[in-house]
Amino acid sequence: MNSTNIRAGGIAFLTVVLSAVAGLPVAAAVDNCGLSLADASRSNSQSSDAWSNYQLGLAYATGRGVPTNCAKSKQYIQQAAEARYPAAENALGELYEASKPPNYAEAVKWYRSSALAGNARAQYNLGRLIVHGHADVTAANSISLPASQVANNDWVTWETAHSSGDDRYAAAARLWTASALSRDHVAQYHLGTLFESGLGVQLNPDLAIQLYRLAAPFVPEAASRLRQLQPAGTPHR
């Protein structure tokens, strides 16, 4: 199969993937009140009050030890987010995105603040909103990677994750690269779809396979795509 056919097939596949997640508040397992639990760990650089407020917010969202109460969940998460706790900033963005109707302006604001602080799930979420047209591509500006992360990963480089154009897919690739390097498996999968389709990045099916392989134990869609691209018995490249 030549590269033109590969890219055409990849674009058709990516269109299906993006359409499937367009209506979801977050493209991951979602808990009560519209929250994912991607960032439940504590960062040593954050204050104990901010961490405690964030944990209380998660508890009220999930009913863990207390009755589920979305209003209290948002109250505590907002307090933690305003104290610049990155996981809480991402969670607050998820709450704004899950609201009826979604408040994308506030979601983007909090996702971007968290993404700039290096939060992997916020980087993924911000890229997702850019792809779906709910955030401007400039929201990806200033997202950078530590040089050590790039040097220690032979499956992708910062330069590879850029196209010459400044479109929404290139912006998403920048964000999803940062997220994928921090081992966000959903980001690894979606970055793989970009490399498979050649949207926003240089077409590279081999890198797509490597990314799908990393995500496959955690993301069923990645495992499915890997089986299609690399049938059983095909040696790893």
Range of the domain at 19: 1-27+126-237
- Residue 95 inside a domain? The answer is yes
Are residues 235 and 132 part of one domain? yes
**If 0-12 CB within 10 Å is exposed, 13-18 middle and 19+ buried, where does residue 134 land?**
middle
Are residues 37 and 130 part of one domain? no
Q: Are 202 and 228 in contact (CB under 8 A)?
A: no
Q: What is the pLDDT of residue 6?
A: 44
Task: For tokens 């990645």, name the residue.
Answer: 222
Are residues 60 and 20 part of one domain? no
**Tens-place pLDDT, residues 7-46:** 444 444 444 444 433 333 333 444 668 777 656 554 544 5
* pTM recorded for the entire structure: 0.80
Are residues 210 and 151 part of one domain? yes
CA distances from 112 to 79, 82, 116, 134, 192 (A): 17, 14, 6, 13, 22
Distance CA(29)–CA(81), nearest Å, equals: 21
Are residues 21 and 40 part of one domain? no
Burial 103-114 (b: 16+ CB within 10 A, else e): ebeebbbbbbbb
- Residue 130 inside a domain? The answer is yes
Of 51, 70, 102, which residue sits at a domain end?
Answer: 102
Structure-token pair, residue 120? 């992997």
Q: What is the pLDDT of residue 121?
A: 95
Are residues 204 and 146 part of one domain? yes
Residue 101: cis peptide before it, omega within 30 degrees of 0: yes
Are residues 157 and 213 part of one domain? yes
- Residue 201 inside a domain? The answer is yes
Are residues 218 and 143 part of one domain? yes
Are residues 94 and 68 part of one domain? yes
- Residue 117 inside a domain? The answer is no
Distance CA(117)–CA(145), nearest Å, equals: 11
- Residue 116 inside a domain? The answer is no
Q: What is the pLDDT of residue 151?
A: 57
Are residues 226 and 198 part of one domain? yes
Distance CA(206)–CA(237), nearest Å, equals: 8
Distance CA(80)–CA(87), nearest Å, equals: 9
Q: What is the pLDDT of residue 152?
A: 60
Are residues 21 and 41 part of one domain? no
Of 102, 135, 160, which residue sits at a domain end?
Answer: 102
Q: How many domains does the chain have?
A: 2
**Tens-place pLDDT, residues 68-89:** 999 999 999 999 999 999 999 9
Instruction: Give the pLDDT band (50/70/90) at residue 230.
Output: confident
- Residue 119 inside a domain? The answer is no
Q: What is the pLDDT of residue 143?
A: 81
Structure-token pair, residue 22? 């367009």
Least confident of 38-42, 50-54, 101-105, 164-168: 38-42
**Tens-place pLDDT, residues 107-117:** 999 999 999 99
Are residues 62 and 159 part of one domain? no
**Tens-place pLDDT, residues 154-181:** 545 544 445 545 589 989 998 999 999 8
Residues 6+ apart with CB under 8 A from 182: 118, 120, 123, 149
Q: What is the pLDDT of residue 69?
A: 94
